Structure 1
Amino acid sequence: MADAPSNTFTLQGSCHCGAVRLTLPSMPETAISCNCSLCRRVGGVWAYYPFGTVTIEGHPENTTDYVWGDKTLRTIRCKHCGSVTHWEPTSGELGARHGVNLNNFDPSLSASVLVRHFDGADTWSFID
């Protein structure tokens, strides 16, 4: 059997210990790196999907969340290894925006995506 072409990417990732596994519904077109007080600490590179379209195994039994600010979203991390895997709306409304941390996937995936830089600390605008 021939090797897969080098321009294909797996859409599956996991936290460091593997207790939380994510499968994306499609290749992200862009991602965002934000410098807000939370994102700069967790180092997330966020790809966005409608809530409910990303398959997440091991959640919520292996995760814990952090809710802050206007309390409209929860940042999710593995309660075993601490990796921040995604964020989701606190309302749980299907179709709402959902962020997935691409740093939990093979580096070739995020390297293939245009990463925009967002100033969430001050101007609330793109800075690239």
Structure 2
Amino acid sequence: MHQGACHCGAVRLTLPSTPEVATACNCSLCRRSGGPWVYFPLGTVKIEGHPECTTEYIWGDRTLRNIRCRTCGVVTHWEPMDPVACPRQGINLGNFDPALIAAVRVRRFDGAETWTFVDE
């Protein structure tokens, strides 16, 4: 199990398994909030300090709730607005040990224009 946290430690995340692939997206939000992102079935990542220590930002097509720490402002994860339509959540891998990030294959995703992966 891998444990991570926002900068101040108010929001703590525990992954259920080691991710094999992460996504680095260049959309207007992801390029600002960091990443890379890993995805797990909704409810499988243990998140402590949420919702009491977090706030959300909803934008665009209003399908995702972007979550950040109320204290330090670090983006920790996103959740779907409709868990039936999207039963997964995205976790900001930047909140974990750099060795974990280095061990995961990171795919580049063009979320700004083509909405496709730009690597092989």
For the criterion TM > 0.5, the same-fold answer is yes
Give the AA of the match of 2:68.
R
Q: Deviations over 1:59-108 (max 9, x none)?
A: 00000000011111111000000000000111244971210000000100
Matched, 1:48 2:39: yes
SS of residue matched to 2:99? helix
Moved over 3 A (4+): 92-95
Bigger-Rg structure (1/2): 1
After TM superposition, the score normalised by the length of structure 2 is 0.95
Q: Within 5 Å, which residues of 2 pair with 1:21-100?
A: 21-93=12-84, 96-100=87-91
What is residue 7 of structure 1 aligned with on the other side? none
In the alignment, the residues of structure 1 paired with residue 35 and residue 21 of structure 2 have an alpha-carbon distance, to the nearest angstrom, of: 13
In the alignment, the residues of structure 1 paired with residue 85 and residue 69 of structure 2 have an alpha-carbon distance, to the nearest angstrom, of: 22
What is residue 2 of structure 2 aligned with on the other side? 11
Query: Where does structure 1 lack aligned partners over 5 or more consecutive residues?
Result: 1-9
Superposed CA RMSD: 1.4
Give the AA of the match of 1:66.
Y
In the alignment, the residues of structure 2 paired with residue 80 and residue 101 of structure 1 have an alpha-carbon distance, to the nearest angstrom, of: 17
What is residue 126 of structure 1 aligned with on the other side? 117
Q: Deviations over 1:35-68 (max 9, x none)?
A: 0010001112100000100000000000000001
Give the AA of the match of 2:27.
C
Q: How far did 1:11 drift?
A: 0.4
